[in-house]
Structure 1
Amino acid sequence: MSAVLGTASLPRVATGGPPPRDPRARAASIGLWVFMGVATSLFSLFTWAYVMRMSGSDAITLSLPAQLWLSTALLLAGSVALQLAAGAAREAVGIAAAWRARRLLLAGGLCALAFLASQLWAWQVMLAAQVQPTSHPAGSFFYLLTAMHGLHLAGGLVGWAWAAWAAWAYPAAGAWRIALCARYWHFMLAVWLGLFALLRWLTPEVARFICGTA
């Protein structure tokens, strides 16, 4: 336990410096990179499938609800909060700094929960507009892509809870957990921005041009 509590290099997970000496932190960091690589491949395959399906003769362009802009703002705010929490935890000296890291960590998690709520709100708006999962290709992929992203973010909340527990129970040893949380939130933000741009601006004409069927 003393090696965990006293290791000064643990915070360097957040800065890209040398790997920490704690084997748990190193293993968790590598595991997260591997998972993000797999998730990137998965979302890339879904993206290409969407492009190909949108090149069909029955494809139409969706009018997306304004709630998705709220979702984007919430996810961005959560990503910023977690990055600030990682920085505060890395440099925390004294009770006040530790509490700042905890508050920022809590804010990041609350933004993620609000993001998921806003996504459900957007689904309600789409369903009220008679856009069903089986209505047309754009509608089907809208629910599929947003659901897949939401599930990955919900899974990230498990890691966030783990980091929050460590921040309260072992403040000196929790910095690398918060840093990993921040890294995953940045990844989720990047994926969401890509999906949002795809859903908003990919038209059948653009899809046919990409697929060479225009």
Structure 2
Amino acid sequence: MSVILVFLLVVAGFSFWWLSRHRLMSKPWLEHGVHTALPETDVAGMPTAKIALGIFLAVVGSLFALFSSAYFMRMEYADWQAPPLPNVLWVNTVVLVLASVALQCAVHAAREGRLDMTRLALAAGGLATFVFLAGQLVAWQELSAGGHFMNVNAANSFFYLLTGMHGLHILGGLVGLGRVAAMAWSEEQVTERLGLGVDLCAMYWHFLLFVWLGLFVLLAGWAGDLIAICRQLLT
């Protein structure tokens, strides 16, 4: 229960920042002057696709929060034996950070109308993501080679489940990224539709990076200390 509470507090903080950034919590009746309906600053210009993605990410975040809560409850049993953390996961974390940074660069390039830089950043983000998935397969192979199979221990099952679920969401994101990349290579200039697609991909990758960092802390065995610190801060 504590895991869900902490996760929801973090999600609430992230949501507040995101809403403030898009001025969804502004009070236009208290503002003076001429208002324009720019997509970056006005609620009227908020694309429906971006709102829908935000709702979807909230659902996915709740799903991972429930899995994390189940992880904490199951680890209290005496037969729990957490598998060793493969070293490749450290590399995977850095690679996913680079993928997220690359897509954020694509967002800035698209807003500035630099099509070549947008294409390059999209390609870099996609390549880094494929490297991340390959690294996850290497981690699974290392665990299997060490005898840490899924049916040996509940902790092993949770490791494969959590990393597998995250990997499936990454694969789904790659489908969308592929469509946006194809659009970028078929266009002669940055269009509003392309810019929206790049924004959505960046949002999705930032969220998956946030989820992965949480899973990494959980699988590394640091979550207990983090929860204890959060409890002290809340009390």
Q: Tell me the secondary structure at the aligned position of residue 220 of structure 2.
A: helix
For the 8 Å contact 1:62–1:200, the answer to whether it is kept is no
**Aligned residue for 2:132?**
115
Once residues 196 and 168 of structure 1 are traced to their aligned partners in structure 2, the CA distance between those partners, rounded to angstroms, is: 35
Once residues 145 and 103 of structure 1 are traced to their aligned partners in structure 2, the CA distance between those partners, rounded to angstroms, is: 31
* Structure 1 stretches lacking a partner, 5+ long: 1-7, 210-214
Amino acid of the residue matched to residue 193 of structure 1?
L
Once residues 44 and 50 of structure 2 are traced to their aligned partners in structure 1, the CA distance between those partners, rounded to angstroms, is: 10
**Aligned residue for 1:3?**
none
Superposition pairs of residues 175-186 of structure 1, within 5 angstroms: 175-186=195-206
Question: What percent identity do the matched residue pairs reach?
Answer: 45
Higher-RCO chain (CA-CA 8 Å, sequence separation at least 6): 1
TM-score (norm 2): 0.75
The Cα shift of 1:62 comes to 2.3
**Aligned residue for 1:106?**
123
Question: Which one of the candidate residues 47, 50, 66 is aligned to 2:71?
Answer: 50
**Aligned residue for 1:28?**
49
Superposition pairs of residues 26-175 of structure 1, within 5 angstroms: 26-92=47-113, 97-170=114-187, 171-173=190-192, 174-175=194-195
Structure 1 segments of 4 or more deviating over 3 A?
none
TM-score (norm 1): 0.82
Deviations 1:105-132 (A, max 9, x none): 1100111111101000110000000000
**Aligned residue for 2:216?**
196
* Structure 2 stretches lacking a partner, 5+ long: 1-36, 229-235
Amino acid of the residue matched to residue 18 of structure 1?
D
For the 8 Å contact 1:167–1:175, the answer to whether it is kept is no
For the 8 Å contact 2:159–2:219, the answer to whether it is kept is yes
